[in-house]
Amino acid sequence: MRVAVIQQANSADLAANMDRSEALVRDAAAQGAELVMLQELHRSLYFCQTEDTDCFDLAETIPGPSTERLGQLARELDIVLVGSLFEKRATGLYHNTAVVLERDGSLAGIYRKMHIPDDPGFYEKFYFTPGDARFNSGASGFTPIQTSVGKLGLLVCWDQWYPEAARLMALAGADMLLYPTAIGWAPADDDAEKQRQLNAWITIQRAHGIANGLPVLVANRTGFEAAPPDGGDGIQFWGNSFISGPQGEFLAQADADSETVLLHDIDLQRSETVRRIWPYLRDRRIDAYEDLTCRFRD
């Protein structure tokens, strides 16, 4: 199956951002992609560089205008399309939410970001409520979304640092792990620190693929986004979107600075082969892991 991840630069023009996203998705579909994933919060600039109540105006309902447009695009191109939206769930209740649109344009499912950062330049706790640990249906928040191209273990950005999230998706039968992302460097960091951060980000996600015997798709944004006047120094998003296989092998990787449609043909049967020789799920000591639910072991 041919998959594509979109690496895009954003501006303050919401309509132009969506038009550009659509053009890149069309490019991916024209090259045979059946599954296409956009980056985190692709409608706008990364507004979490500062705390500003006016930014809540960017939020929208799901279903809503963006899911309608993405659904029409998925139906026209006969693809499964993954988007990332600032969701207004109710008055005063907002989420960082990934959406999956099926080939027929229907909404196959949503995933609300579970781990919410709060760091200089990434003030997400001001805007986003964490996803539900359990939905009203009783399903876990870490539940893959069933689609015509497989069960998608969809996680978002800060979730990518947590092995528990990837493991729970794998245990629920995910065929692949997907990470829409918006991450970059602070301009004040020196080159050595920037390289350490980038290497850590790549390594942790490839490791999730290895530990669970699954392919991993990562879509990051690129370009410099200045902070608002009362904010910080801005963020240089580091791109480097990639696709890796179930042994962590690079299948495709973008550079730091280019808008890119990154494509690769992945073989989901390889997970079966890899899990037979590296049977991590078989050898897990589930009888000895109860302390994983502790905040800290004193």
Phi-psi region of 210 (alpha: psi -120 to 50; beta: other; left: phi over 0): alpha
pLDDT at 209: 98
d(CA 199, CA 166): 19
Of 40, 87, 102, 225, the catalytic one is: 40
157 is known as an active-site residue: yes
pLDDT at 212: 98
pLDDT at 203: 98
DSSP label at residue 108: E
Q: Would you call 207 exposed, middle or buried from its count of C-beta atoms within 10 A (0-12, 13-18, 19+)? A: middle
pLDDT at 3: 98
113 is known as an active-site residue: yes
pLDDT at 37: 98
Of 48, 87, 102, 157, the catalytic one is: 157
pLDDT tens, residue by residue, 87-131: 999 999 999 999 999 999 999 999 999 999 999 999 999 999 999
Of 55, 88, 113, 225, the catalytic one is: 113
**E strands within 148-275?**
150-154, 176-180, 184-185, 216-219, 222-225, 235-238, 242-244, 250-253, 260-265
pLDDT tens, residue by residue, 239-279: 999 999 999 999 999 999 999 999 999 999 999 999 999 99
40 is known as an active-site residue: yes
d(CA 224, CA 17): 15
Task: Please name the residues in contact with 18: beta carbons below 8 A apart, sequence gap of 6 or more.
Answer: 42, 43, 66, 69
d(CA 87, CA 102): 19
